[in-house]
Amino acid sequence: MSTTSTPTPGPHTLSMTTLMTPSMVNFSGKIHGGALLKLLDEVAFSCAAQFSGHYVVTLLVDEVRFRAPVQVGDLVTFHAAVNRVGRTSMEVGIRVIAENPIARSSRHVISCFFLMVAMGDDGRSVPVPRLTPRDETEKRRWKEAEAREAMRRERSTKASG
């Protein structure tokens, strides 16, 4: 880990809306999962970089669940939040809502968690600002992120042992 000074925290939430276009379809005419994963990674990067004030990299992606297909013409909104911070890592949770703007119907299509690590100019991880959960939702998200972190550690230990 590098010792670059820790910037003050930026906003820890971010939302982005994108129109699903025909260039993103798979063989069945629905939006390609890979196209959505790329957008998810960009949102996770933006949310963690904005909060930490550092360049960040994706360490791992957890629990990506495609709950329902996404269609061409849907307006897709990614709601991201830093759920928990470690010393140099941040868990970003993303909830994705697809809306048919003509029918005015919306549905929850994806939820997932990205573990992002802040990087210094020397290519080593650097400390991130502290995050204080403010309300009941943020406290619950922090607790759930802690439980996921414990499970990741356990999987890591099993895989290396």
Ligand X SMILES: CC(C)(COP(=O)(O)OP(=O)(O)OC[C@H]1O[C@@H](n2cnc3c(N)ncnc32)[C@H](O)[C@@H]1OP(=O)(O)O)[C@@H](O)C(=O)NCCC(=O)NCCS
From the list 11-19, 56-64, 65-73, 97-105, the region that binds ligand X by CB under 6 A is: 56-64
A 10 A CB-CB count for 42 gives 13
Closer residue to ligand X in complex, CB, 48/109: 48
Out of 70, 82, 125, 145, the only residue in the binding site for ligand X (CB under 6 A) is: 125
Out of 14, 31, 109, 117, the only residue in the binding site for ligand X (CB under 6 A) is: 117
Interface with ligand X includes 126 (CB under 6 A)? no
A 10 A CB-CB count for 151 gives 12
Interface with ligand X includes 3 (CB under 6 A)? no
Q: Which residue has the tokens 């880990």?
A: 1
DSSP tag of 8: P
Q: How many residues bind ligand X (CB under 6 A)?
A: 13
Interface with ligand X includes 100 (CB under 6 A)? no
Cβ neighbors of 141 (< 8 A, separation 6 or more) are 81, 83, 84, 93, 133
Interface with ligand X includes 87 (CB under 6 A)? yes
Interface with ligand X includes 86 (CB under 6 A)? yes
Cα–Cα nearest to 78, from 92, 91, 89, 90: 92
A 10 A CB-CB count for 143 gives 12
Closer residue to ligand X in complex, CB, 22/123: 123
Cα–Cα nearest to 91, from 112, 108, 114, 107: 114
CB of 60 to ligand X, least distance (A): 6
CB of 59 to ligand X, least distance (A): 4
| Residue 43 buriedness (CB in 10 A; 0-12 / 13-18 / 19+) | buried
Residue nearest ligand X by beta-carbon distance: 86
- Which residues here bind ligand X, judged by CB under 6 A? 1, 57-59, 86-89, 115, 117, 125, 152, 156
